[in-house]
Amino acid sequence: MTISILFGTETGNAEMLAEDIAAALEDDHETRIANLQDTGAEDLRAADLSIIVCSSYGDGELPASAQPFADLLRAEQPDLAGVQFAIFGLGDTEYAETFGHGSMKLAELLTERGATPVGERLVHDAAGGDLPEDIAVPWATAILAGRATA
C-alpha cells in the first residue's frame, strides 16, 4: 500500500512525529513523507492512504505549514472523493479550550471536500506524561491493521 505521511508544523514537533510513523511503517508499506505546505490535491489522490500529523498553534489555529494547504482547499475546492485520510493531532491541555483544534479544523476541511476519514482522530497532550510516538505509532498500525482485515 502507498502511504503518504504528511505533517503540518510550526516548531517541527509534528515533522519529527511524522518521521517516527514513517519509520514504523516503511518495512511493510511504500511510504513517502511530505510537508503539508508542499502538498496538493493530486498528492492525496496518488496515495492509498494519507496519514496526517498536525499540531495546533496560538489560539487553536492551524500551524504555519498547514495554512497554505488549508488555503488551497478553500480556494480551489478540489473534489477529494475517494481520498482516505487518518489524522493525528498534537495539542496541549494547558490550553483546554482549543485543545487539538488544529487537527480538528484540518479534518473538517478535508471531509468537506469529500475525503473519507479512517480511524479515530487522536490528539497527543504535550502537558501529559506520554511520548507522542508511543501513542501515534500504535494508532497508525491499528488503522492499517483495521484496513487490511476490512
Partner 1 sequence: MNAKIAIVGAGPSGCYTAQALLKCAPGLEVDVIDAQPTPFGLVRYGVAADHQGTKGVARQFARIFTRQGARFLGNLSIGDETTVEDLRQAYDAVVFAAGMSGDRRLGIPGDDLAGVIGSGALTRALYEHPDAGPFPVLGDTPVIIGTGNVAIDILRLLAKTPEELRGSDLGPGPSAWLAAQRFRKITVVGRSSAASARFSPVMIKELADLATVDLSVVFPDPDGASVLNTAVTSTSGPLPVEFRFESRPAALEKTGGGLHLQVETPQGRDTIAASSVISAIGFTSKGTLDRDAILRAADEPDGARGRVYATGWFRNGPVGAIPQCREEAQALAQRILSELQPDPDRVGRQLFAQHPDIVDFDHWQQIDAQEVAAAPADRCRQKISRREELLRPSNLQDA
Contact positions toward partner 1, by CB under 8 A? 10-13, 16, 57-59, 64, 92, 94-95, 97, 126-127, 129, 131
Nearer to partner 1, 114 or 128 (CB): 128
Nearer to partner 1, 42 or 97 (CB): 97
Nearer to partner 1, 34 or 95 (CB): 95
* Shortest Cβ 102–partner 1 spacing (Å): 13
CA distances, 13 to each of 53, 85, 91 (Å) = 10, 20, 11
Q: How far is the CB of 120 from partner 1 (least distance, A)?
A: 22
For residues 65 and 115, give the distance between their C-alpha atoms in angstroms, rounded to a whole number: 20
Q: How far is the CB of 7 from partner 1 (least distance, A)?
A: 12
Question: What number of other Cβ atoms are within 10 A of residue 115's Cβ?
Answer: 23
- Of 54, 139, 37, nearest to 101 by C-alpha is 54
Our CB check for partner 1 shows the closer of 13 and 141 to be 13
Min CB(54)–partner 1 separation in Å:
15
Whole-number Å distance between alpha carbons of 23 and 21: 5
Q: Measured from the CB atom, is 49 or 137 closer to partner 1?
A: 137
CA dist 19 and 15 (Å) reads 6
With residue 42 as reference, give the H or E element that holds it: helix 41-46
The C-alpha cell at 16 is 519529527
Shortest reach from residue 52's CB to partner 1, in Å: 19
